């Protein structure tokens, strides 16, 4: 019986499946990677796509023509692609479900400079975590589940205010 080699690092084209919120799964894609150097660990650019599923999805459900990189407002209000820099080491709980050609998704050069997405640099996010894609879920719910989404936001705000009040006491 042949043992399967466990993948340790993300590679260009890897399809990452995450489940940042109960009942929602998101597809993210590795756009570039850089091996470990003397000064830095291995890094990669990961783009969150607009592919949000309300079921646990498989690679066969990903049509390369359907996915686009999600766009969001950065901290200064400029709409930028949802691309971040992550460590390329695969942590437990991160599911890579396949590899696809991502060369047509983002044509501009990707550097490993840190920034906000508007001047060529990208936010640095540390290790890859299962929370990748929460932005896509918020965007999807704001369109497809708006009433419940607004109620959930109000509940979260109320809970946060109550916590702050308890901390003051």
Tens digit of each residue's pLDDT (9 = 90 or more) over 147-165 = 988 898 899 999 999 999 9
**Amino acid 7: pLDDT:** 84
> Tokens for 106?
């983002």
Q: In 16-133, where does DSSP find H-type helix?
A: none
**Amino acid 65: pLDDT:** 61
**Amino acid 137: pLDDT:** 94
C-alpha 117/C-alpha 84 separation (Å) is 8
This model's pTM is above 0.85: yes
The residue with greater pLDDT, 134 or 1, is 134
The residue with greater pLDDT, 131 or 5, is 131
Residue 15 clears pLDDT 60, i.e. is over it: yes
**Amino acid 119: pLDDT:** 85
Closest by CA to 52, choosing from 83, 93, 23, 12, is 23
> Tokens for 118?
């508007």
Q: Confidence band (pLDDT; 50, 70, 90) for 63?
A: confident
Task: Calculate the dihedral angle through the C-alpha atoms of 93, 70, 72, 16, rounding to the nearest 10 degrees.
Answer: 10
Contact of 27 with 15, CB cutoff 8 Å: yes
- Find where tokens 């066969």 sit: 60
The total number of residues shown for the chain amounts to 169
- Find where tokens 């696809």 sit: 100
> Which stretches of 57-118 are assigned E, i.e. beta strand?
71-73, 79-81, 83-87, 95-99
Residue 2 clears pLDDT 60, i.e. is over it: no
Q: Confidence band (pLDDT; 50, 70, 90) for 56?
A: very high
């Amino acid at each position: 019986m042949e043992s399967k080699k466990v993948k340790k690092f993300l590679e260009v084209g890897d399809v990452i499946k995450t489940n940042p919120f109960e009942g929602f799964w998101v597809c993210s894609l590795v756009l570039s990677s850089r091996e470990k150097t003397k000064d830095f660990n291995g890094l990669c650019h990961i783009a969150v796509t607009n592919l949000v599923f309300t079921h646990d999805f498989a690679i066969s459900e990903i049509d390369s023509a359907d996915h686009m990189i999600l766009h969001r407002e950065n901290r200064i209000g400029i709409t930028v692609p949802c691309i971040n820099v992550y460590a390329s080491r695969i942590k437990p709980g991160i599911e890579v479900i396949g590899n696809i050609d991502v060369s047509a998704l983002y044509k501009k050069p990707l550097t490993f400079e840190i920034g906000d997405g508007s001047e060529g640099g990208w936010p640095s996010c540390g290790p890859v975590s299962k929370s990748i894609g929460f932005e896509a879920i918020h965007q999807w719910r704001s369109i497809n589940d708006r009433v419940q989404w607004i109620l959930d936001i109000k509940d979260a705000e109320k809970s946060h205010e109550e916590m702050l009040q308890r901390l003051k006491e």
